[in-house]
């Protein structure tokens, strides 16, 4: 597939929006992530780590999760690592999988989704009004009813406490 065709598949928001089959949505998400794939240099740095963020002891994450995380651009990886660390510190037994073509953190029946895009990361799945006060503290990061778009530069203005409040509110239940 040509790069222009891949770019046409990329769009912010959950890949399943706007119709189309699940297969088409997943193909679009994979294409978007492929465009943001790390460089050879950043791959070497990631592979030299004992355990990537999101890994379980022994590195037993599904291959699709490993591939998604490996494809996060070097520019956005520190932000992902921060979010992953905060989620795991609040919920050490969280289950990580791919759903809707993006990372899905699951605790019981609750889910929080993180998608890697060109702008940075988006967080989905939290219920409006049940966000630990995050929307009130950071309205500039809201994009729609329950989407938070965070660029690496915007993340600098958000405390770990604010993110942890969002995580607790979203995944407790």
Q: pLDDT tens digits for 110-147? A: 999 999 999 999 999 887 778 898 989 999 998 887 89
Alpha helices (H) along 54-143: 63-70, 77-90, 134-137
C-alpha to C-alpha distance for 52 and 72, rounded to whole angstroms: 12
Q: Is the separation of the CB atoms in 135 and 126 below 8 Å?
A: no
Alpha helices (H) along 17-159: 22-35, 40-47, 63-70, 77-90, 134-137, 152-155
DSSP 151: -
pLDDT at residue number 84: 96
pLDDT at residue number 87: 97
pLDDT at residue number 131: 86
C-alpha to C-alpha distance for 162 and 173, rounded to whole angstroms: 18
pLDDT at residue number 164: 96
C-alpha to C-alpha distance for 7 and 4, rounded to whole angstroms: 5
User: In whole angstroms, what separates CA 153 from the centre of its chain?
Assistant: 16
pLDDT at residue number 173: 65
Give the three-class secondary structure for 145. Answer: coil
pLDDT at residue number 161: 96
Show Cβ contacts of residue 96 under 8 Å, excluding neighbours closer than 6 positions.
54, 56, 61, 65, 103, 104, 105, 106
pTM: 0.67
The residues that bridge with 114 in the sheet, in sequence order, are 103, 123
Segments of the chain with pLDDT less than 50: 1-58
Q: Which residue, among 32, 120, 114, has the nearest Cα to 75 in the 3D structure?
A: 120
């Amino acid at each position: 597939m040509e790069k222009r065709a891949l770019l046409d598949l990329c769009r912010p928001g959950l890949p399943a929006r706007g119709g189309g089959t699940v297969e088409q949505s997943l193909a679009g998400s994979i294409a978007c992530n492929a465009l943001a794939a790390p460089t050879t240099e950043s791959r070497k740095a990631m592979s030299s780590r004992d355990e990537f963020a999101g890994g379980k002891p022994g590195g037993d994450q599904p291959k699709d999760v490993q591939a998604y995380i490996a494809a996060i651009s070097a520019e956005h990886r520190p932000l992902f690592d921060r979010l992953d660390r905060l989620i795991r510190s609040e919920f050490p037994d969280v289950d990580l999988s791919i759903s809707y073509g993006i990372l899905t953190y699951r605790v019981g029946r609750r889910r929080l989704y993180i998608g890697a895009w060109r702008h940075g990361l988006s967080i989905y799945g939290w219920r409006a009004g049940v966000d630990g006060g995050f929307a009130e503290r950071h309205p500039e990061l809201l994009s729609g009813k329950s989407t938070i778009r965070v660029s690496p530069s915007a993340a600098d203005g958000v405390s770990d406490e604010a993110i942890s409040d969002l995580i607790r509110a979203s995944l407790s239940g």
